Chain A
Amino acid sequence: MQIPHEVIPRRDTGLYNAKIGIWIFLASEVMLFGGLFSAYAFLRLGVQTGVDNPWPWGLSVHKNFVWLGAINTLVLIASSVGVVFAWVAVKERNWKRYQRYMYFVVACALTFMAIKSVEYYSKLVKHHGIKLVDNSVMEGTIIDRSDRIEFQGDKISFSLQGALPWVFKDFTSGEFPLLTVESGPAELVGDKIASAAAFKAWHSSGRAMVMQKLVDERRRYRAERDAGATPKPVSVSSSVTLVAAAPFKVNADFRRLVMHNATTLNYRDGVKVEGKLVTDAVRFQVHEVDMQLVLPTKQRSSVVWDVIGSAEAKQHFFDKQSEKYAELKEYYDKRGGIIPDKQLRGRFLNVQYVHVPIDEKSGAENKSAQHDAVHTSDMLLTAGGGDSEGHVGPSKTILVPRDKIKFMSNHGPRYGNYYGIYFTITALHGLHVIFGAVVLLFFTIFGKKMFLENPDHLANRVEVGGLFWHFVDLVWIFLFPLMYLL
């Protein structure tokens, strides 16, 4: 059966079916993204200067990626032009040209997503922030996953009623230590375990044995009770202690720990590891210091300067701050006003690029110098965001004591509201790019039959797919300045 108005428009509305359909869909999309943009505005306007987590400056969040964001904008615009030209090509009955334009559009979509993933990778893997106990924040990079606690264990205790202990996932060295069961249920004492696979098998059979004992005990309890006697309480010993022949290394994820000290790691799954703490400090490459949450009068005595341990870096921070203060003063003096509190506590004055020089003597200790040199090159294009003039080259890796850290994270959604809304909107937009590209690719590969039978039908399809594509472009046009520049 022929569906009416697939190609020929209705006489009353002047529209064919798909066109009215796509516009209703786009209207709902406007509301979807509108809601998210509204959430963005609420989150941004709701920040109380000096109280809440400050809203970062897009420019200084993205650094080099401002250029990538700009390139992505151009890529999407080019793809939008490509779609309309493909549509014209169908109207002109030129299949070859139509296909070329459509492949160009899909290539643009792939380029966009590739650039996006580079950017996501950088945020999630390469950039971190550490908030110290006095709310000063250091932006930079945690080196070699040193956010984990390095520990040397020789004894592990846990209950066989639990699942496989997490600690075994935190072992660093490839070789598994030779473990001997020191105490626990009599059947298990003396067992030797030499590999991860053997441990898994041992754990599972030990657990089954303990569970069976529990079942037996409960049966015994019920039988005694039913016989009218006062039953002895159910009791099954399931805790075991394993000792290692040689100390083993553990890199513990602090999120999985209840507590740790110089001799013990206490995991959230109830496992206790005894031994000795190797290092508790986080190795960190600092790029920027953010003092927005520290009162101006307390900035010079902030704990961040003890942690960074470089008088030169501190001096540079405050020199830059005074320079910027003079700039602000000049601006407001000209207008006959005083500098507003929002500015005094804001990022213009309180976030500065910081370079920690490597002193000659300890240069050899700086294992990550190569990595750092690559990383600091990111800072070259920060114009206006952070301030990197004259500071090229590796920054010294500093050790941040864990007891000075209030919070640390990558630049993922949990790092702050900006990152939360950034990932929400850009990921949703990315999904639109992917699905749009899939639909357009479908029209390109499988459109020939329709092109030969009824080219106007294909033209309508391309027009409708194109309308969606333009909408995706339109959202990005707003996202780019909001997320990358402002």
Chain B
Amino acid sequence: MSDAHFDAAKTKKSFFAVGIALFVFTVVTVVVGLVPMFDIGAPGPDAADVILGLGIAGTKASLVALVFMHLNHEKGAIYKLLFFTTIMFACLMVATIFAEMDPIQEQFDTLSTTSGVVSEVR
């Protein structure tokens, strides 16, 4: 951070605003999680709830990274470093698709009503 154009008042203001936003988002997360009215998708936890929950978390995380960790105005070297981290991280997350790829189990799933029998046999 170069001191020449460090504006303390402005910086404090933005930090404070982000802090408030994070508080609000946390409350929103809890309300969405606890109040049945906000249970999107089918009743009970499902993919839609996960997407919503992680969406809010992602927004909060972006605020922390961009403002608190100064990633909104950082030097190029750091973005270059984080570019590779992002690719590796994305690979890790994409890898979880393999958990959903199972051609053998799919055969069972397509035969409706068998899953009960299958689980009993096992």
A interface residues, Cβ below 8 angstroms from B: 9, 13-15, 19-20, 23-24, 27, 30-31, 34-35, 37-38, 41-42, 45-46, 48-51, 57-59, 66-67, 70, 73-74, 77-78, 80-81, 83-85, 88, 91-92, 293, 295-297, 324, 327-328, 331-332, 341, 343, 345-348, 383-384, 456, 459, 463, 466-467, 470-471, 473-474, 477-478, 480-482, 484-486
Residue of B nearest to A35 (CB): B92
Closest partner residue, chain A, to B118 (CB atom): A51
Supposing A20-B77, A77-B26, A78-B19 touch, asked if A477 and B116 sit within 8 A by C-beta, the answer is no
Asked whether, in the complex, the Cβ of B122 is within 8 Å of the Cβ of A84, the reply is: no
Residues of B within 8 A of A347 (CB): 44
CA distance A80 to B23 in the complex (A): 12
Q: How many A-B residue pairs have CB under 8 A?
A: 183
**B 44-96 contacts with A by CB, 8 A:** 44-45, 49-50, 53-54, 56-57, 60-61, 64-65, 68-69, 75-78, 81-82, 84-85, 88-89, 92-93, 95-96
**Interface residue from A51, A80, A478 paired with B119 (Cβ < 8 Å):** A51
Cross-chain contact A49 with B26 (CB below 8 angstroms): no
A58 to B34, CA, bound (A): 11
Per-residue A-contact encoding for B3-25, CB less than 8 Å = 1, 0 else: 10010100110011011001100
Count how many chain B residues have C-beta atoms less than 8 Å from C-beta atoms of the other chain: 65
Q: Are A328 and B53 in contact (CB under 8 A)?
A: no
Q: Are A348 and B44 in contact (CB under 8 A)?
A: yes
Asked if B57 and A81 make an inter-chain contact with CB atoms under 8 angstroms apart, the answer reads no
Q: Which of A78, A456, A471, A485 contacts B29 (CB 8 A)?
A: A485
Check B116 against A478 for contact (C-beta < 8 Å): no
Cβ of A50: which chain B residues have Cβ within 8 Å of it?
115-116, 119
Q: In the docked arrangement, what's the CA distance between A37 and B118, Å?
A: 30
- Please judge, given known A-B contacts A384-B34, A481-B54, whether A456 and B3 are in contact too, CB under 8 Å: yes
Residues of chain A contacted by B82 (CB below 8 angstroms): 23, 27
Shortest Cβ distance from residue B75 to the other chain A in the assembled complex, whole angstroms:
4
A57 to B11, CA, bound (A): 40
CB distance from A184 to the nearest CB of B (A): 51
Whether A31 and B85, one on each chain, are in contact in the complex, defined by CB atoms closer than 8 angstroms, is yes
Chain A residues whose C-beta falls within 8 Å of the C-beta of B107 in the assembled complex:
none
B65 partner residues in chain A, CB cutoff 8 A: 470, 474
Contact of B96 among A38, A91, A331, A474 (CB under 8 A): A38
- Contact indicator B16/A42 (Cβ below 8 Å): no
Query: B122 to A88, Cβ gap below 8 A?
Result: no
Ordered by A's residue number, 19 sampled pairs between the chains whose C-beta atoms are within 8 Å are: A41-B96, A58-B45, A59-B33, A59-B45, A74-B26, A77-B22, A81-B15, A91-B8, A324-B43, A331-B43, A341-B109, A341-B116, A384-B36, A456-B3, A463-B1, A478-B61, A482-B54, A484-B33, A485-B29
Q: Which residues of B contact A293 (CB under 8 A)?
A: 119
Q: Are B44 and A482 in touch, CB under 8 angstroms? A: no
Find the residue from A15, A23, A88, A92 having the highest chain B CB count within 10 A.
A23
Would you list the 9 A-B pairs with minimal beta carbon distance, nearest first? A348-B44, A485-B33, A45-B99, A81-B19, A481-B53, A41-B96, A50-B119, A14-B75, A27-B85
Residues of A within 8 A of B77 (CB): 13-15, 20
Please tell me which one of the listed residues B26, B50, B96, B118 contacts residue A42 in the complex, with CB atoms under 8 A apart. B96
Which residues in A have their C-beta under 8 angstroms from that of B53? 481-482, 485-486
Q: Are B33 and A30 in contact (CB under 8 A)?
A: no
Q: Is the CB of A470 within 8 A of B118?
A: no
B residues apposed to A, CB below 8 Å: 1-3, 6, 8, 11-12, 15-16, 18-19, 22-23, 26-27, 29-30, 33-36, 39, 42-45, 49-50, 53-54, 56-57, 60-61, 64-65, 68-69, 75-78, 81-82, 84-85, 88-89, 92-93, 95-96, 98-100, 105, 109, 112-113, 115-116, 118-120, 122
Q: Which chain B positions have C-beta within 8 A of A91?
A: 1, 3, 6, 8
In the complex, A19→B50 CA distance in Å?
A: 35
Whether the pair A88, B12 counts as a contact (CB closer than 8 A) is yes
Q: Is the CB of A481 within 8 A of B36?
A: no
Q: How far is the CB of A130 from chain B (nearest CB, A)?
A: 21
CA separation between A20 and B42, bound complex, in Å?
46
Q: Which of A37, A346, A467, A477 is most buried by chain B, counting CB atoms within 10 A of its CB? A: A477
**Interchain CB contact under 8 A, A34 and B75:** no
Give the Cβ gap from A187 to chain B, nearest Cβ, in Å: 58
Chain A residues with CB under 8 Å of B68's CB are 80, 83-84, 466, 470, 473
CB distance from A349 to the nearest CB of B (A): 8
Given contacts A467-B69, A470-B65, 17 further A-B contacts (CB under 8 A): A20-B78, A23-B82, A27-B84, A41-B99, A50-B115, A57-B44, A58-B45, A59-B45, A91-B1, A91-B8, A328-B43, A332-B42, A343-B44, A466-B68, A480-B57, A486-B49, A486-B50
